[in-house]
Chain A
């Protein structure tokens, strides 16, 4: 008897189902996709027993005829594509024709659908692979798919389901991934009869995103919108000051398909590098639109992965779109539309007008629509609020005009003339100030509508890092020569670091030269340098680089980051009011004021409302 034989069809289908239907959330995904593809304007999801007892999706889409219903659960039967060529122009969510068949293989399915208004529909119940019952049934135009007893015939899979709680979470997350990106559809979700999501069609994408993420989160989000070659990128990204401990709040879409795509996630990580702490993740809703022929969605049965033709280009486009949205400049414009759909290739994707009608994918609102609705409404972002308040305060106090000669210097108590300026009253009673240093580490600044708190070390680190980077670009280097050159003995490792980085050190403003053997001579260092400590600073930087302790994309950035960290004013250092003011000014002038190069935050703000709430005045 031959050892190798063809598997019976039930087994094949169960194996295939394993790829598509992993858990109840997969069922939700397939059914909701079908509903959207059917042009539904309202989609209702009902689950019970965390999806293992029941997953039901009710839509008011185009519906199916009795013949279609009979075909629907057959493997590779679909209305969405006809020829292999269509595979490269996929504009609908589904196309493989596997979903219903796969679900049917591991559950009991009931489909009730009507393609006409008037309430006459047809119902079909499928168990295993065969239709067990088929009869007329009342149904409004649209389709209801009821999936029961999931995995009843694959006990192993059933055993691997996680706790009800985590399955529920997964279902909700899957459902929300649609809710977030299709604002014009009304969504409902009932879990064991309890209303979890009830959302009417939203007036704008922004409104929908705010409804899902919450208005308080939305306050920390900036709009992302950019067009780069054939790529359109749109969405909302949280400011570096607002992060989460996991990626659960990152929703990335390629052509409005929720994906886990490596190129884009990597681009996101890159965009936030150096500005958020390690192991923190931004909240993000990001839609990337790529012409259909530039992307292959037929990679993964659940279509979670897609393949982008020009990965490097896409990476750079996403990274720079996020970067520019996060930098101060483009923040004021909070009105966002979906990236447009008017790719030249799209028309070809819907060759037959018939299909065009069937694959009624909701058209995203265009930028014009959004603009017409919102006009030039500006939403003021966190940074602007801080900056605004600060400028306002400066103007009010008439202090825009302070001494330009200030720099961060150690308070020079030794040079005060006793008796004169050093009046006892001033010494003891202190002067009123809007700047106040707490614990010799945090600067509190009274601004309009609240208090801004600055971490002096992190802030100074950011200022030094940015200044050096800018000076490097401009090739401006100022080195203060020193009277007593310093001789430093290095270890072999440190010597290697010195050799490989001496150009960068020279560009920062160090004047270093080899001095025979393993030693170097320091003839100058950057003007205004703190913590020099007879060269210990340089040894600390070498040490950071040797043990790869500095953050950064490349060696230059690492050198700068280490230099910034080591030479920044330390926590515990008393600052004068002028020093605090200068630091605040420099920080606000920085392009990236929210965090130090290590990613720790530099600024926090407490609003007056918040304080009033503490004291129950609101």
Chain B
């Protein structure tokens, strides 16, 4: 086999799949990527056994073949080559690279060793606008847990009811949920948990694309972006029954300007404890006071205008959690639906978009006094 392509294209494509190549692994083959020359296209695939990413490159081709290429060395060579056409040949398990006056021969591995993707019949396929999927991922992924002792929380739940798709993520301290009103009849009743790594890779690749084709199989999910295919093993459930913990009787409503709150929270949290990140919200009908008091560090107070229906209330939150939530909202104002100071609070954007509905749950820090 022999292929020729521009150095810039080669470097960009390899960099694209580098996110999947594990930096440390006990399986040496995983530190390689697979180069497959089929018909008129080159497929480059990296696989870490959970997620596999294939990128498809158009280029000049003579003959077919496959080889596993050492990822790090090949990338270093590619990026240091001059900006010209790169000619790559493969013979047995040796890879040749030629560019202007540079010549390299790299010892590769047999493609046979490279992990194969399991063949599974898709249960359902559907197409979503990339803009929508991007927004849904952004609004949920921050709440994914990293506690490996509860694997089901280490991913984003997708479920479909009445033609809608809902994504939910939670780490037990906060929960993010976004509903998309659509017409996904063939997904009805399906529930699956997707790894955040696959979703992050998806987001990094969809910027120029209109749509993504998603195929769901028994144990895995595939995102097809034409020139890239992401394959990801699904995370085993069950996901906890989140509907049960969404409060129904939070009648005290606090409305506040999102940007003002974000800025104030960021400022006062400079002095918050590095362990608890605690910030206290003292809520009265017109003024919301944010305060931080950390022994040995200092105190900070910030006052904001707000609208509040209900008796005055004091609630403690983890400032980082609060900022994470505010960051994912785009509206001018946000509303907090509250009950008691030790109960679950709901945060929603005021005047949300038409087809996306976003809602966050935030557990308070029980105040010390």
Interface residues of A (CB under 8 A from B): 404-407, 409-410, 412-420, 422-424, 427-428, 467, 474-484, 509, 511, 523-524, 527-528, 532-534, 536, 582
* Cβ A424 vs Cβ B363 within 8 A: no
B366 in complex: contacting residue of A404, A413, A479, CB < 8 Å: A479
Nearest-neighbour CB distance to chain A for B341, whole angstroms, equals 10
Q: Which residues of A contact B163 (CB under 8 A)?
A: none
Nearest-neighbour CB distance to chain A for B156, whole angstroms, equals 11
Known: A419-B16, A534-B149. A480 touches B365 (CB 8 A): yes
A484 in complex: contacting residue of B146, B197, B245, CB < 8 Å: B245
**A404 to B72 Cα, complex, angstroms:** 35
Task: Say yes or no: is B196 at the interface (Cβ < 8 Å to chain A).
Answer: yes
A405 in complex: contacting residue of B200, B274, B344, CB < 8 Å: B274
Known: A415-B200, A418-B204. A481 touches B18 (CB 8 A): no
Known: A467-B275, A484-B172. A415 touches B196 (CB 8 A): yes
* Cβ B277 vs Cβ A407 within 8 A: yes
* Cβ B277 vs Cβ A405 within 8 A: yes
A476 in complex: contacting residue of B154, B295, B344, CB < 8 Å: B295
11 contacts between A and B (CB under 8 A): A405-B320, A414-B146, A414-B195, A416-B19, A417-B200, A418-B201, A424-B14, A424-B18, A481-B366, A483-B361, A533-B147
* Cβ B368 vs Cβ A419 within 8 A: no
* Cβ B146 vs Cβ A483 within 8 A: no
Q: Which residues of B contact A480 (CB under 8 A)?
A: 173, 276, 318, 363, 365-366
Q: Which residues of B contact A422 (CB under 8 A)?
A: 18-19
Nearest-neighbour CB distance to chain A for B192, whole angstroms, equals 17
* Cβ B173 vs Cβ A482 within 8 A: yes
Known: A418-B200, A428-B72, A480-B318. A511 touches B366 (CB 8 A): yes
Residue of B nearest to A477 (CB): B368
Known: A422-B19, A424-B72. A476 touches B368 (CB 8 A): yes
User: Can you list the 3 inter-chain pairs with the closest CB atoms, starting with the nearest?
Assistant: A418-B19, A479-B366, A481-B363
Residues of chain B from 13 to 63 with CB closer than 8 A to chain A in the complex: 14-16, 18-20, 23
Residue of A nearest to B246 (CB): A483
* Cβ A416 vs Cβ B150 within 8 A: no
Q: Which residues of B contact A407 (CB under 8 A)?
A: 274-275, 277
Nearest-neighbour CB distance to chain B for A579, whole angstroms, equals 11
Q: Which residues of B contact A533 (CB under 8 A)?
A: 147, 149
Per-residue CB contact flags for chain B residues 307-348 toward chain A (1 = under 8 Å, else 0) read: 000000000101010000000000000000000001110000
Given pairs A419-B19, A527-B275, 4 additional interface contacts (CB within 8 A): A414-B195, A480-B318, A481-B173, A532-B147
**A409 to B147 Cα, complex, angstroms:** 10
Task: Say yes or no: is B206 at the interface (Cβ < 8 Å to chain A).
Answer: no
**A484 to B245 Cα, complex, angstroms:** 7
Task: Say yes or no: is B81 at the interface (Cβ < 8 Å to chain A).
Answer: no
**A528 to B327 Cα, complex, angstroms:** 22
Residue of A nearest to B367 (CB): A478
**A424 to B70 Cα, complex, angstroms:** 13
Residues of chain B from 268 to 317 with CB closer than 8 A to chain A in the complex: 269-278, 295, 316
A527 in complex: contacting residue of B15, B270, B276, CB < 8 Å: B276
Q: Which residues of A contact B82 (CB under 8 A)?
A: none
Q: Which residues of B contact A534 (CB under 8 A)?
A: 149-150
Q: Which residues of B contact A423 (CB under 8 A)?
A: 15
Residue of A nearest to B174 (CB): A483
Q: Which residues of B contact A481 (CB under 8 A)?
A: 173, 342-344, 363-366
* Cβ B274 vs Cβ A414 within 8 A: no
Q: Which residues of A contact B273 (CB under 8 A)?
A: 478
Chain A CB count within 10 A is highest, among B23, B240, B369, for B23
Q: Which residues of A contact B316 (CB under 8 A)?
A: 478
Residues of chain B from 148 to 195 with CB closer than 8 A to chain A in the complex: 149-150, 154, 170, 172-175, 195
Residue of B nearest to A470 (CB): B295
Known: A414-B146, A484-B245, A533-B149. A427 touches B18 (CB 8 A): yes
* Cβ A527 vs Cβ B146 within 8 A: no
**A64 to B115 Cα, complex, angstroms:** 99
Q: Which residues of B contact A476 (CB under 8 A)?
A: 295, 368
**A2 to B76 Cα, complex, angstroms:** 110
**A302 to B352 Cα, complex, angstroms:** 90
Residue of B nearest to A413 (CB): B197
Q: Which residues of B contact A474 (CB under 8 A)?
A: 295
Per-residue CB contact flags for chain B residues 195-230 toward chain A (1 = under 8 Å, else 0) read: 111001101100000000000000000000000000
Residue of A nearest to B18 (CB): A424
Residue of A nearest to B363 (CB): A481
Q: Which residues of B contact A528 (CB under 8 A)?
A: 275-276
Residue of B nearest to A530 (CB): B147
Residue of A nearest to B270 (CB): A404
* Cβ A483 vs Cβ B344 within 8 A: yes
Q: Which residues of B contact A475 (CB under 8 A)?
A: 368-369
Task: Say yes or no: is B97 at the interface (Cβ < 8 Å to chain A).
Answer: no
Chain A CB count within 10 A is highest, among B174, B175, B272, B273, for B273
Q: Which residues of B contact A416 (CB under 8 A)?
A: 19, 200
Residue of B nearest to A467 (CB): B275
**A417 to B205 Cα, complex, angstroms:** 11
Nearest-neighbour CB distance to chain A for B290, whole angstroms, equals 16
Nearest-neighbour CB distance to chain B for A118, whole angstroms, equals 72
* Cβ B366 vs Cβ A478 within 8 A: yes
Chain B CB count within 10 A is highest, among A423, A424, A427, for A424
**A254 to B242 Cα, complex, angstroms:** 69
Nearest-neighbour CB distance to chain A for B187, whole angstroms, equals 25
Q: Which residues of A contact B242 (CB under 8 A)?
A: 483
* Cβ A406 vs Cβ B274 within 8 A: yes
Chain A CB count within 10 A is highest, among B295, B320, B368, for B368
Residue of A nearest to B293 (CB): A476
Task: Say yes or no: is B75 at the interface (Cβ < 8 Å to chain A).
Answer: yes
* Cβ B200 vs Cβ A483 within 8 A: no
Residue of A nearest to B155 (CB): A414
**A73 to B368 Cα, complex, angstroms:** 74
Residue of B nearest to A463 (CB): B275
Residue of B nearest to A426 (CB): B23
Known: A418-B19, A428-B72, A478-B316. A484 touches B240 (CB 8 A): yes
* Cβ A428 vs Cβ B23 within 8 A: yes
* Cβ B274 vs Cβ A527 within 8 A: no
Q: Which residues of A contact B142 (CB under 8 A)?
A: 415
Nearest-neighbour CB distance to chain B for A529, whole angstroms, equals 10
* Cβ A414 vs Cβ B196 within 8 A: yes
Task: Say yes or no: is B254 at the interface (Cβ < 8 Å to chain A).
Answer: no
Task: Say yes or no: is B141 at the interface (Cβ < 8 Å to chain A).
Answer: yes
Q: Which residues of A contact B197 (CB under 8 A)?
A: 413-414
* Cβ A524 vs Cβ B150 within 8 A: no
Residue of A nearest to B141 (CB): A415
Known: A407-B274, A407-B277, A418-B200. A479 touches B16 (CB 8 A): no
Q: Which residues of A contact B86 (CB under 8 A)?
A: none
Nearest-neighbour CB distance to chain A for B230, whole angstroms, equals 11
Per-residue CB contact flags for chain B residues 107-148 toward chain A (1 = under 8 Å, else 0) read: 000000000000000000000000000000000011010110
Residue of B nearest to A464 (CB): B275
Q: Which residues of B contact A511 (CB under 8 A)?
A: 342, 366
Nearest-neighbour CB distance to chain A for B17, whole angstroms, equals 9
* Cβ A427 vs Cβ B23 within 8 A: yes
Per-residue CB contact flags for chain B residues 66-94 toward chain A (1 = under 8 Å, else 0) read: 00000010010000000000000000000
**A413 to B21 Cα, complex, angstroms:** 13
Q: Which residues of B contact A482 (CB under 8 A)?
A: 172-173, 363
Q: Which residues of B contact A412 (CB under 8 A)?
A: 146
Residue of A nearest to B244 (CB): A484
**A348 to B18 Cα, complex, angstroms:** 88
Residue of B nearest to A586 (CB): B274
**A109 to B314 Cα, complex, angstroms:** 87
Nearest-neighbour CB distance to chain A for B7, whole angstroms, equals 16
**A287 to B23 Cα, complex, angstroms:** 60
**A478 to B144 Cα, complex, angstroms:** 23
**A479 to B315 Cα, complex, angstroms:** 12
Nearest-neighbour CB distance to chain A for B178, whole angstroms, equals 17
**A409 to B275 Cα, complex, angstroms:** 10
